[in-house]
Amino acid sequence: MVNVSWAINIDASVKYLIGTRIRGKTIYVCEYSPPLAEFNLTGIRQKWFHYLLQARYGATIEVANLPLPPLGSGPSSKFAKFVTTPPKYSLAPKSTQSPTAEIIDITTGNPTADPKNNFTSILVNVYLGLAVLMILASGYMIYKRYGTDLAISMGFKRLPTSTQVPIHVLLVYPPENGAFQKAVMALAEFLQKHAGCSVAIDVWQQSRIAYDGPMRWLAEQVKAAQHVLIVCPPSSRPPPIPISTSTGTTSIPAATHDLYPLILNMVASHAKSAHELAKFWVLQLGGQQGKRPGDMAPELRACKLFCLLKDLNKLCRSLHTQKQDSKMRSTLVFGPGVIDESESMVKLRDSVEKLSRRCLLIPTEAAQRSIV
**What digits encode the pLDDT tens for the residues 282-334?**
999 875 555 566 668 888 988 999 998 888 889 988 888 764 443 444 444 44
167-371 is classed CATH 3.40.50.11530: yes
Packing angle, helices 256-269 and 214-224, rounded to 10: 50
pLDDT reported for residue 12: 80
Model-level pTM greater than 0.85? Answer: no
Stretches where the chain sits below pLDDT 50 are: 76-77, 95-102, 104-113, 115, 159-163, 238-248, 323-338, 363-372
Count of CB atoms situated within 10 Å of the CB of 123: 10
pLDDT attached to residue 231: 93
Crossing angle between the packed helical segments 178-194 and 343-371, to the nearest 10 degrees: 160
Nearest to 355 by CA among 284, 300, 252, 298: 284
The predicted-structure confidence for 80-121, as pLDDT tens digits, reads as follows 666 666 666 656 555 444 444 445 444 444 444 454 555 677
d(CA 250, CA 186): 11
How far is the CA of 82 from the CAs of 102, 106, 118, in angstroms?
6, 10, 18
Amino acid making up residue 4? V
Q: Mapping DSSP to helix (H, G, I), strand (E, B) and coil, where does residue 196 land?
A: coil
